[in-house]
């Protein structure tokens, strides 16, 4: 798994100037609100910068995700300006912006300060899905505690540039998840509708690791593909079911953009300016960010302090929202105090800020940022802005945390661009016919057909190479390079690498013995020498037999010892082994894989080799 996949969006506040002692300064504080205008107040500061009527302050740290950060920061700014007090002390709310998936995993793991830093006082994720994931362990359930209070909501919508939506009949015609699944990356979609200048039907969404909207997209595309409601999907489907993995794979590979966060997706769209329709046909977004994109809200920078603002102008081409009838997800943002001592100052501060957020001023600030109230209404969300003020009633539907986590992990395995060396056994036993195959194919032919079907599933910016092995293929060496490791989007001797790989796979011939141990060691050394940071580096080794190379004295214990000595946790390279058929030495293959922190996949039925390959390449 690639290192540093999670990036904190929190930036430390800039240093503040110190006012000389005994000098009182009247400071005008202006906060731009999401709906425009400003609020001003005058503070008298003493020598250390504290308010003269608030000599003591209790700081309440509230952590949220990027999609809610802007409106919540504005609500916190208004709250801080009002100088709320609890137990004789002024309360200052500090907003942290950290991906909610990252926070959920930290809570689920038990949260240690050594690993995750100081825990926030309150967690306010964009969706109850993240709370479910945090609670998937006993430690997480203790950390999160009882159900929080919903303070805002926002449906997940399929946003389209207004000209495109109107060309499809919006607002009467609404885009669905089935439409996305059926038309994603269709090159002639717009030319068939009178707009060849718009190109194909391109989709953008945010990474489900960080985005509840991106997670909803994956769940609903899978549900549309397998023909069942997203609420009935299971952990086992995401870990084991090929149709489910195939749906995610197709969705990810067909996307024009998989952004790191929802705001990143909006920023990319806005950055394309008037050319936006040529870049994207549909964006999966929280409705609140569609509103912000259209009105040009000056939203605070992710992770900024409560008086720090940056933002974007209104999108050159406004977006309109479709509310899919085949799976409308309404994300609800819960206010979750985290294990605060009863009667403490921070517990009192948390309760006071909650009262403010659910009150008229707090709700007005959240609504001004495009979020709906807990009752799912917001009068600012008008059809003129491409939205609807009153949302149709939908029951809350949240999957269990383990299913959500597995869906994210499966997406990660598919989304990561790997550095992969495929190593195929071409020993004589691979020429045996498979008795259960109706086409009377050999083991090697079935494996080659599976590889030919799997190669197009690799993203074009993945790196892939190919070896074969038996015995005496290169002098006394049992292995031979067929295609060197390199990016699929770069040619090999003037031929596209993916085509070179397919040609080489189909040209393999079966003969000789099985030089398994020497090949495994050499392949591991080769990929270690071509290590790529921030990618999964993996040898995928497939064999139908056991080591019987007469030219090599290397034993299994020696191989395992060498692999463990070569393994570098800072630059991890894994050997994924696939035991092909009933004669494969499954125990040796398991030991080889485990020596590099990986897994072995038995394929007892050779006709299932494609499914096993897909699982091996997508599991993380």
Note the pLDDT tens digit of each residue in 242-251: 889 888 988 9
C-alpha 87/C-alpha 45 separation (Å) is 21
Q: Which domains does the chain have, with CATH numbers?
A: 59-152+332-401 (3.40.190.10), 153-331 (3.40.190.10), 416-618 (3.40.50.410)
Q: Which two tokens stand for residue 145?
A: 């505690």
Q: Of 450 and 479, which is predicted with more confidence?
A: 479
C-alpha 143/C-alpha 310 separation (Å) is 33
Indicate the Cα dihedral angle 151, 155, 156, 161, nearest 10°.
-120
Indicate the Cα dihedral angle 86, 91, 97, 102, nearest 10°.
-40
Q: Is the pLDDT of residue 42 over 60?
A: no
Residue 411 φ/ψ, nearest 5 degrees: -60, -45
Q: Is 382 helix (H, G, I), strand (E, B) or coil?
A: coil
Q: What is the mean pLDDT of the chain?
A: 86
Q: Is the pLDDT of residue 310 over 80?
A: no
Name the DSSP class of 1.
Answer: -
SS3 labels along 12-37: CCCCCCCCCCCCCEEEEEEEECCCCC
- Please report, rounded to a whole number, the percentage of residues in the chain having pLDDT higher than 70: 88
Q: Of 34 and 418, which is predicted with more confidence?
A: 418
Cis peptide upstream of residue 171 (ω within 30 degrees of 0): yes
C-beta separation of 426 from 508 below 8 A: yes
Q: 358: number of CA atoms within 13 Å, CB side?
A: 14
Name the DSSP class of 608.
Answer: G
Q: Which of 48-62, 175-189, 291-305, 537-551 has the lowest mean pLDDT?
A: 291-305
Write down the pLDDT at residue 432.
94
The DSSP code sequence of 83-139 is T-EETTEEEEEEEEE--HHHHHHHHHTT--HHHH-SPPSEEE-S-HHHHHHHTTSHH
**Alpha-carbon distances, residue 458 vs 3, 16, 217, 405, 573 (angstroms):** 20, 50, 21, 23, 19
Provide the residue count of the chain. Answer: 620
Q: Report which secondary-structure segment, H or E, holds 353.
A: helix 345-358
Angle at CA of residue 207, ends 184 and 417, nearest 5°: 80
pLDDT tens digit sequence for 596-615: 999 998 987 777 787 787 77
Write down the pLDDT at residue 619.
64
Classify 14 in phi/psi space as left (phi over 0), alpha (psi -120 to 50) or beta: beta
pLDDT tens digit sequence for 214-251: 999 999 999 999 999 998 999 999 988 888 988 898 89
Mean pLDDT over 529-557 rounds to 93
Write down the pLDDT at residue 297.
72
SS3 labels along 238-263: HHHCHHHHHHHHHHHHHCCEEECCHH
């Amino acid at each position: 798994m690639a290192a540093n996949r999670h990036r904190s969006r929190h930036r430390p506040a800039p240093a503040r100037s110190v006012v000389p002692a005994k000098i009182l300064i009247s400071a005008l504080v202006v906060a731009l609100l999401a709906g425009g205008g400003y609020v001003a107040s005058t503070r008298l500061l003493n020598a250390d910068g504290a308010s003269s009527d608030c000599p003591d302050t209790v700081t309440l740290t509230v952590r949220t995700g990027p999609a809610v950060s802007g409106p919540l920061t504005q609500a916190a700014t208004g709250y801080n300006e009002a100088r709320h007090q609890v137990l004789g002390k002024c309360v200052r709310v500090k907003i942290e912006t950290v991906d909610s998936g990252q926070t959920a995993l930290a809570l689920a793991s038990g949260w240690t300060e050594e690993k995750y830093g100081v825990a926030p006082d309150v967690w306010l994720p964009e969706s109850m899905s993240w709370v479910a994931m945090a609670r998937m362990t006993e430690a997480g359930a203790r950390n999160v505690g009882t159900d929080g209070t919903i303070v805002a909501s926002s449906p997940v919508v399929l946003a389209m540039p207004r000209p495109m939506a109107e060309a499809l009949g919006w607002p009467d015609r609404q885009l669905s998840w089935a439409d996305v699944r059926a038309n994603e990356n269709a090159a002639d979609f717009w030319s068939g509708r009178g707009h060849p200048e718009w190109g194909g039907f391109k989709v953008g969404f945010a990474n489900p690791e960080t985005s509840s909207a991106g997670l909803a997209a994956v769940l609903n595309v899978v549900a549309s593909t397998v023909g069942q409601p997203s609420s009935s999907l299971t952990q086992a489907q995401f870990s084991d079911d090929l149709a489910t993995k195939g749906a995610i794979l197709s969705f990810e590979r067909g996307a024009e953009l998989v952004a790191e966060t929802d705001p990143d997706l909006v920023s990319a769209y806005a950055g394309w300016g008037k050319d936006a329709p040529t870049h994207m046909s549909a964006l999966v977004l929280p409705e609140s960010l569609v509103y912000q994109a259209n009105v040009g809200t000056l939203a605070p920078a992710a992770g900024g302090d409560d008086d720090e603002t940056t933002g974007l102008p209104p999108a050159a081409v406004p977006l309109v929202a479709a509310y899919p009838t085949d799976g409308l997800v309404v994300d609800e943002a819960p206010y979750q105090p985290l294990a605060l001592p009863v009667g403490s100052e921070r517990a009192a501060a948390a309760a006071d800020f909650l009262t403010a957020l659910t009150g008229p001023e707090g709700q007005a600030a959240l609504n001004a940022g495009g979020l709906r109230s807990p009752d799912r209404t917001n009068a600012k969300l008008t059809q003129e802005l491409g939205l609807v003020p009153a949302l149709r009633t939908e029951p809350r539907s949240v999957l269990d945390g383990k299913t959500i986590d597995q869906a994210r992990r499966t997406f990660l395995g598919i989304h990561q661009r790997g550095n992969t060396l495929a190593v195929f056994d071409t020993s004589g036993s691979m020429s045996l016919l498979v008795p259960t195959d109706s086409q009377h194919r050999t083991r090697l032919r079935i494996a080659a057909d599976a590889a030919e079907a799997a190669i197009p599933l690799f993203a074009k910016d993945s790196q892939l190479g190919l070896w074969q092995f038996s015995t005496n293929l290169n002098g006394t060496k049992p292995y031979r390079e067929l295609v060197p490791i390199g990016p699929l989007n770069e040619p090999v001797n003037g031929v596209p690498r993916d085509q070179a790989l397919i040609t080489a796979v189909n040209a393999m011939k079966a003969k000789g013995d099985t030089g398994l141990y020497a090949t495994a060691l050499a392949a591991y050394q080769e990929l270690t020498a071509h290590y790529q940071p921030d990618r999964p580096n993996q040898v995928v080794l497939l064999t139908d037999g056991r080591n019987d190379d007469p030219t090599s004295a290397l034993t299994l214990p020696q191989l395992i010892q060498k692999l463990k000595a070569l393994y570098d946790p800072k630059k991890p390279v894994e050997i994924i082994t696939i035991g092909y058929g009933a004669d494969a030495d499954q125990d040796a293959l398991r030991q080889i894989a485990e020596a590099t922190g990986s897994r072995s996949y038995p394929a007892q039925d050779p006709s299932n080799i494609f499914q096993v390959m897909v699982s091996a390449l997508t599991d993380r």
